[in-house]
Structure 1
Amino acid sequence: MQLVIFSLQDKLYGMPSVAVEEITGAVSWTAVPKAPLWLLGLINLRGNVISLLHYERFMNIEDKTENNEELCYNNTIIIKHNGKQVALAVDKVHEVIDINEDDIQLPVEGEGIFRGVFSQKDAVISLIRLSTLFSKNEGSN
């Protein structure tokens, strides 16, 4: 299985490379009034309007930024799953790696925000469950 590895606030995450449609630099977004804090705004990617998500806020993971103005990120990952698109603001895209599915340790909670975790080079990487990411975002696109 091929994974794209990226970081947010010194934490490493991975997602299947087949779901990654594009990786770009930081993009400007248009804020949406009264939107949830995890929705940074909407971006226009070659005529397609896509929700730009702050992943850690979206999944209720500890977030060290106070508001969207303080958010500093370097890359945007455009993800497509079951015909729908979202964009994630991330600090850095590190690499694309191949792992054996047997190396993925299942999460304790079962069906949660992560599909599992795996270790690589003294680091623990959380594997994002795309179905959770997209089902929670329903209605904001």
Structure 2
Amino acid sequence: MSLSALTRHDPEEQRLRQEIQLACFRLGAEMYAIDIMRIKEIIRPQKLTAVPRAPVFVEGMINLRGSVLPVIDLGKRFGLPAIPVDRRSRVIICAVFDRFVGILVEEVSEVRRYTRQEIKSPPEFVKGRESDFFLAVCQREDDLVMIIDLEKLFSTDEILHLSQLQ
């Protein structure tokens, strides 16, 4: 391959570098998202094993092909009512601090592509510990989707506790 071939810019490759793909899901009436590069898989809820003295948002543990993973209820984590488990509910298996964690959500709707220009900083009026949960907001026309910062979902103590569970 020649040097000119290596330095040539493919328009399609440039466009893809300017986009991010997000798995969008619903909690109540609101839409949230996680970068698909952080997701291992999305599964239906499984039988949970309760964990004594776990944080209130930890629903329990699952055995996923030989790996024991904690499952958190994202609704409870955000101070919302518990997520009802039904046929639309899903568990998103994500990498958080080099460990896999299941995140229970009401419904995964789709994977959307957003350009870098459609991604904005979270609103300034969102303050306090809960504001740390959000990395950015995506805006397209009247549609807003909050991108979750997985590392900020847990305090240092909670991370240690989850590590001990595994």
Normalised TM-score (structure 1): 0.84
Q: 1:2 to 1:133 in 2, by over 3 A?
A: same
RMSD: 2.2
Gaps of 5+ in 1: none
Deviation larger for 119-128 or 103-112 = 103-112
Give the number of the structure with larger relative contact order, counting CA–CA contacts within 8 Å between residues 6 or more apart: 1
1:138 aligns with 2:145: no
Alignment of 1:7-46 (within 5 A): 7-46=26-65
- Counterpart CA distance in 1 for 2:112 and 2:93 is 18
1:1-141 paired onto structure 2 within 5 Å:
1-58=20-77, 61-65=78-82, 71-73=84-86, 74-107=89-122, 108=124, 109=127, 112-120=132-140, 122-133=142-153, 137-139=158-160, 140-141=162-163
C-alpha spacing 1:126/1:71, structure 2 compared with 1 (3 Å): same
Percent identity of paired positions between Structure 1 and Structure 2: 28
Displacement of 1:135: 5.2
Q: Is the 8 A contact 1:79 1:87 kept in 2?
A: yes
1:6 CA drift (Å): 0.6
Structure 2: 5+ residue runs without aligned partners?
Answer: 1-19
User: Partners in 2 of 1:21 and 1:81 — Cα distance?
Assistant: 11
Larger Rg: 2
Q: Which runs of 4+ in 1 moved over 3 A?
A: 134-137
Does structure 1 retain, via aligned residues, the 8 Å contact 2:70–2:102? Answer: yes
Q: Give the aligned length.
A: 135
Deviates more, 1:124-133 or 1:12-21: 124-133
**What are the Cα deviations for residues 2-28 of structure 1, in whole angstroms up to 9, with x where unaligned?**
110011122211111011100111211
Q: TM-score of the superposition, structure 2-length normalised? A: 0.72
